[in-house]
Amino acid sequence: EEKKAPAKAKKETPKAASKPSKTELNALLKADLVALAKKQGIEIASKDTKADIIAKLA
């Protein structure tokens, strides 16, 4: 008789992942990136571009 491993739920990245991938970050709006950075305690200047914010988050 074969032993089967218990069924595992599909692996999904939790929304509260500590470091989303650059692809995931690029899909976000700038306002969402700013909010994410603030949650992580990263200071963002209003003149920062999406690329600047993503670089600070990565």
Confidence of residue 7 (pLDDT cuts 50, 70, 90): low
State the Cα–Cα distance between residues 39 and 20, nearest whole angstrom.
13
Answer whether 37's CB lies under 8 Å from 53's CB: yes
pLDDT of residue 3: 64
* pTM summary value: 0.64
Q: Where are the domains of the chain?
A: 22-57
Per-residue pLDDT at 14: 47
Measured CA to CA, the distance from residue 28 to residue 24 in angstroms comes to: 7
Tens of pLDDT, residue by residue over 10-57, are 544 445 556 789 999 999 999 999 999 999 999 999 999 999 999 999
